[in-house]
Amino acid sequence: MTAAPFGPLEFQLVLLRRMADHQPGLVEDARHELGLVRPIMVVGRRA
């Protein structure tokens, strides 16, 4: 099995997820700027 590419968006999602517990307001603002909906914030294995 080959790992999925890990690009800039995936890196940003990891950082936002780690930051969400400490700065939820900033994460919400960044999520809106990136045009993301909440379910995409779940970083994990892709099918």
Q: How many domains does the chain have?
A: 1
Q: Does residue 30 fall inside a structural domain?
A: yes
pLDDT at 42: 52
Residue 1 has a pLDDT of 63
pLDDT, position 47 = 45
Residue 22 falls inside a structural domain = yes
Query: pTM of the predicted model, to two decimals?
Result: 0.61
Tell whether 1 is covered by a domain: no
Structure tokens at 5: 């590419």
Is residue 10 in a domain? no
**In which domain, by residue range, is 30 found?**
15-47
Per-residue confidence in pLDDT tens, the chain, 47 aa: 677 778 888 888 889 989 988 999 999 998 889 888 765 555 554 44
Q: Does the residue 27 lie in any domain?
A: yes
